[in-house]
Amino acid sequence: MTRSLSIQSLVVEGSSARILRDSGRARADWVEQYPPGNLPPTLGADRPLCFLHIAKTGGTSLTDALARLYPPEQVFSDGGNLSIAYLETLGEKLGGRVLLAGHPDQGVAATLQGHADIMTVLRRPEDQAVSNYLHVLADSHNALHAAAASSSFTDYLRAHHHQIDFQARSLAIALAVDPALSDALRISSHPLTRFLESLPFVGVTERMETCADILSRLLSGRQAITLNYMNASVCRGVSARTLARLRQDYLDLRRDADLAPIFAREARLYATAERVMARLEAEVLSSRALRNRAAPAGFISAGRFHTAEGLTRGPTVVASLEGSDPHIIHGPYARLPAGHYEVEFHVRLEGPQPTAKGRIELETACNDDISLRRKWLRAGACASTRGPVISFTHHHAFDVLEFRIRAHGFSGGRLIFDGVTIRPCTAARAWPSTPWRALSLARRALRNALLGLRRALARPQTGVRISR
């Protein structure tokens, strides 16, 4: 393994600040280079794996997938962030095989370099900027919310240049221990591209399934990485038409001569990420490579699902039936080709104590709040060898699917969940989900209209109108 990129090569000319401090001693060889043909046989095998999560790049889904490969006590994140102060609190916990994941604060990458395997993912600039803008619009506590809500997307970007090259800025902050160097690194951009080229893994959001394939190989294929599509824009009710319009606004703004250099910086950084990933794909995914993409149908284990109350016991989730108002099982936030499907829930009850109204509710939904079909079962119906089945029609491949379980009216007992099996079915079996979906869409449209009216009456403004 060779080492390259001295500290001097990363310091903008004329600056006396150092990028990395390590117990008062600067390391001249602080970046570890993995040249072609010399990839690490196992990523994060005997030292920390650090995922630098740049906002709105699909990092929530990837963090979730990586965290499932580690015991909970070996996964560290400070509420979705990583800072030097937080790393210092971990102390000896950072030794050996652990996962660090979060939005990087000042100097985090520089501090961990040489002590951890660092990876990151970048997104096509126009898509990242649009997603970030929509996130700011939806978060009333965000410092930029008022500015985003009271102006068009293009005016918002003109007034806040750092949102145009957000990914470059995020990496510059992670690389510079001295805040005074962050802007210099971002403007130069060459140190950032060199940094990406030095990492053992860089991916792009648009090819996230291939990212999962590569990471499965770099992690020695101990377990196939499967992605749950979390925090997607479609789950927040944003239409494909709105996304396309905002994306075009971004592309049109690139013609602005004053802003063109900023757009170019972000484009160069993304092109570097594409190039690095293409190299990794060629080196790691040979013709005999392990391919672990989810099939259009098949078994999905309970390990890919989420639960607020249950306990994971290997491939099984165990949850209490008592007082369960929210969904006790939900997931896996997966995408499938459009078509007609049936899903079998592998669920059973242990010692159920139902009241007169005790029942289990099963639901298939997409994009968070569009219900495709529900089924209600009495406790005795979950005792058969074959699990309960719901058939449904999946209209769009980009929709994110979710299967949910809720318990009503139980004073005791446990629910045992092993996963679900998805199979294609006929249109005749799936047709009831179509009117159910139409009703959900009508409910959502009415709710959004009432919410928009209330906001307009409370604070009249001329902000962007997001069509649902």
Q: What residues does each domain of the chain span?
A: 3-284, 298-435
Q: Taking a C-beta distance cutoff of 8 angstroms, is the pair 196, 202 a contact?
A: yes
CA 28 to chain centre: 34
For the record, the structure tokens of 408 come out as: 């009503």
Q: Exposed (0-12), middle (13-18) or buried (19+): which is 79, by Cβ within 10 Å? A: exposed
DSSP 24-89: T---TT-EE---TT---SSTTSSS-EEEE--TTSSHHHHHHHHHTTS-GGGEE-SSSEE-HHHHHH
Look at the pTM and tell me if it is higher than 0.85. Answer: no
Predicted pLDDT of residue 8: 31
Residue that is written with structure tokens 């007169």 in the block: 356
Which pLDDT value is given to residue 386? 74
Q: Which two tokens stand for residue 274?
A: 């594409």
C-beta of residue 101 within 8 angstroms of C-beta of residue 268? no
Res 54: pLDDT: 97
Q: Which residues of 217-232 are buried (b: 16+ CB within 10 A; e: fewer)?
A: bbbeeeebbbbbbbbb
Other beta carbons less than 10 A from residue 110's beta carbon: 27
**3-284: CATH number:** 3.40.50
Element (H, E) at 365: strand 354-366
For domain 298-435, the CATH class is mainly beta
Distance of CA 329 to the CA centre of its chain: 19
Write down how long the chain is. Answer: 468
Local structure of residue 259 (DSSP, 8 states): T
**CA proximity to 113, closest of 167, 186, 33:** 33
Q: What is the C-alpha separation between 449 and 260, in angstroms, rounded? A: 38
- Report pLDDT for 348: 87
Ranges under pLDDT 50 in the chain: 1-41, 287-296, 460, 462-465, 467-468
CA-closest candidate to residue 166, choices 202, 122, 201: 122
How many Cβ atoms sit within 10 Å of the Cβ of residue 416? 17
